Structure 1
Amino acid sequence: MHTTKKLLFFQLLSSVCLLSCHSKQENKEPKKSPPPVVDVMIAQPQAVSNIIEANGTVVANEFVELHPEATGRITYLNVPEGKYITKGTVIARINSADLEANLNKSKAALKLAQDYVDRLKPLLAVQGVNQADYDAAANTVISTEADIQYTQALIDKTVVCAPFDGVVGLRQVSLGAYVSNTDVIATMQQVNNLKMDFTLPEEYGKYISTGSTVQVTLDAIGDTVKHKAAIIAIEPQANTVTRNLKVRTILQDKTKANPGAFAKVYLARGGSKQSIVVPTNCIIPSDINKQLILVKNGNAQFTNVTTGMRLQGNVEITKGVEAGDTVIVTGVLFAKDKKPVHVRRTLALDSLGN
């Protein structure tokens, strides 16, 4: 009897322990987190403008950094900062005293050699001197003349002149400074005919050609008038990083602006069309492709897309999304592929702000 009571006690204790362990295991089971809350829009064709916008930079018609070709001390300096000068104006001279002395020495040697040839020439006619001696004297004259030309070329390199008509920039050196060919004395720019460079995605290359015109606005001068610029050249190779084409134009109406100023370019690409447009911040970029997140049967679905024209705050989708698709516009960072999402509301494109 006593043994039976002990057995019942141990069975009861075991049951309590098992129930306690089972209860703890149930408490340890993780609770499922609710699906992320997102806002969506219904993809619908929108009217897309036929104007392509691009950013450009005003550049001078001609630009040069003035470097000395010779190394030495500056003995003359004429840099009228911000002033217009003509081609050939002497801007700087490098000390050339040693070269001038060598030039004078060569000129004296030339005169002596020429006099000797002049004396030998009559004697050669009467065979008073052999041909070899006369040829040696004549060769001395030619060699000395070559030395003079070489020394004169070195002297010419000590003079820095304006290569074209233009405006001189700020002076970078002082009189008496020791300079080499790596030092910049000043800059020169020709600003009477301004150019403008801009970049354009290569997919729009079919809309531009040499000789065609684009419209330009210059923010620096606060002018809202659109100026005309003619395309004079197109870089044949696209940038390997951005895949953009570089285009050079020349402003046609003598527009006044500083080289380096920002410009906005407007390029017509033909008739307007209807395209699906989504907010730019919906796009998930990567090194390989671009993606949008659609909602299919209550689940998020990552979809590869191809983008087209960029608008103000929006971007055109040319491939990957069909009319009527549900596109996630907020909560993009929390959505996971093929996982449920909770749609809070459906927004219109206009309400999302540009």
Structure 2
Amino acid sequence: MRFLTSARPLLACGLAVLAACHSSPDKKDGKDAKKNTGPALVDVLVAHPTAVTDSVEANGAVVANDYVELHPEVNGRLTYLNVPEGHRVSKGTVIARINDADLQANLQKTRALLQVSRLSQDRLEKLLKVQGVNQADYDLAVSQVRSNQADAAYTQAMLAKTVIRAPFTGIVGLRQVSPGAYVTPTTILVTLQADTKLKVDFTLPEANGGLVRPGAVVTVQLAGNPPRRYPATVIAQESQVNQTTRNLTVRAQLPAGAQASPGAFARVSVPTGAARRSVLLPTNAIMPGDKSDQVVVVQHGKATMRDVRTGDRQQDQIAIVSGLAAGDSVVTNGVLFTQPGKPVKVRKTKSATN
């Protein structure tokens, strides 16, 4: 019993020594971790104000110069269908034909009646000259000839409607029917659009309606990698403001050769004519805030938060209207790793004018 009692203090002492041995490396590692924490690596851009023209951004869509849905004008069954999907067809190309057998038969009947009525008119005209018939009988014969002529012309017009032709040169869309289908004037056969001249329709708030006049040039940006930008000339605007949205619809002509598809989304930049000196920064350098946007400025080797007022966007850049001065070093890369008042290490410096 005495041996067991004396062993307890020794066991407690051994456990304490083991605990101390295990805890000492953790403290050492914590100190080493603090020692390894250094200043954040950042790229900076030296601000240099440049002349930037103010503009108004608007959303729009590319539209074809001509677009049409081809419908038959008469009821009937399709006997011929020529729809080269996605290919160009010339004006006047026959797209479809509708069964016209009944109309052809009716035309032959009308022509036969017309021939008989003309013979009757000729006989009565000779008798009228010798007073062998009264004027009323001759006038009735003339009326019958004209009636038959009108019937023949109507039937010929209906026959012309059984042939559907391309009204202009353009690209054929996707076929909506098959040969042999029974169609009506509500049936869409195919779409056709002219892609040689493309336009852009966009809307502006009522207050900015004075910025666009026929002949004014706007900048159109289309999606792509990289995005495509084209100058477009304003050709017309809607005669009245939309009473629901209070927006004005404007149409601009894209230059020849513009690579765009009708219906594509377009972002339109309308210059206001006013210019100011602003600093252009990459959009990733801006930190949006509730009250104001902010940027990180390097001063005396430390990060400083600066409130700024932003202006127009230009592709991947944004204009800083106020809050920065010439020569300020603005962090462009590594913004998320900076802390106010903490040191930073500049890895790369670039000028705003480069």
Conserved 8 A contact 2:55-2:312: no
Unaligned runs of 5+ in 2: 1-50, 279-286, 293-310, 321-339, 341-354
**Partner amino acid for 1:76?**
Y
* Residue equivalent to 1:204: 208
The equivalent position to 1:271 in structure 2, one of 266, 269, 274, is 274
User: Among the aligned pairs, what percent are the same residue?
Assistant: 52
Q: What's the counterpart of residue 171 of structure 1?
A: 175
Per-residue Cα deviation, 1:155-184 (whole angstroms, up to 9, x for no partner): 222221111111111100000001111110
Structure-2 change in CA distance of 1:108 and 1:223 (3 Å): farther
Map of 1:251-270 to 2, 5 A cutoff? 251-270=254-273
Structure 2 residue identity aligned to 1:216: V
Partner of 1:190: 194
Partners of 1:162 and 1:241 lie apart in 2 by: 37
- CA–CA distance in 2 between the matches of 1:91 and 1:73? 14
**CA-to-partner distance for each residue in 1:221-272, whole Å, 9 max, x for gaps?**
x354531111111112223333221110111242121111122212210223
> What letter is aligned with 1:256?
Q
| 1:195–1:251 CA contact under 8 A, matched in 2 | yes
The equivalent of 2:250 in structure 1 is 247
Kept in 1: contact 2:53–2:271 (CA 8 A): no
User: Does structure 2 retain, via aligned residues, the 8 Å contact 1:99–1:155?
Assistant: yes
8 A Cα contact 1:217 1:223, kept in partner: no
Please give the per-residue CA displacement for 1:136-160, whole angstroms capped at 9, x wherever unaligned.
1111101110111111122222221
Asked if the contact 1:60–1:193 (Cα under 8 Å) also holds between the matched residues in 2, the reply is yes
**Which residues of structure 1 form unaligned runs of 5+?**
1-46, 284-308, 317-344, 346-354
Write out the 4+ residue segments of structure 1 that deviate beyond 4 Å after TM superposition.
Answer: 278-283, 309-314
Q: Tell me the alpha carbon deviations over residues 36-77 of structure 1, each in whole angstroms, 9 at most, x when there is no partner.
A: xxxxxxxxxxx9961222222111110000011111111111
What is the match of residue 115 of structure 2? 111
SS at match of 1:82: coil
Contact 1:55 1:198 in 2 (8 A): yes
User: Structure 2: how far apart are the matches of 1:240 and 1:142?
Assistant: 53
Q: Partner letter of residue 270 of structure 1?
A: G
Q: Which amino acid aligns with 1:237?
A: Q
Which residue, 66, 69, 85 being the options, matches 2:70? Answer: 66
Of residues 233, 239, 242 in structure 1, which corresponds to 2:236?
A: 233
1:217 shift after superposition: 2.0
Q: Write the letter of the residue equivalent to 1:250.
A: Q
Q: Distance in 2 between matches of 1:63 and 1:256?
A: 18
Q: 1:54 aligns with which of 33, 44, 58?
A: 58
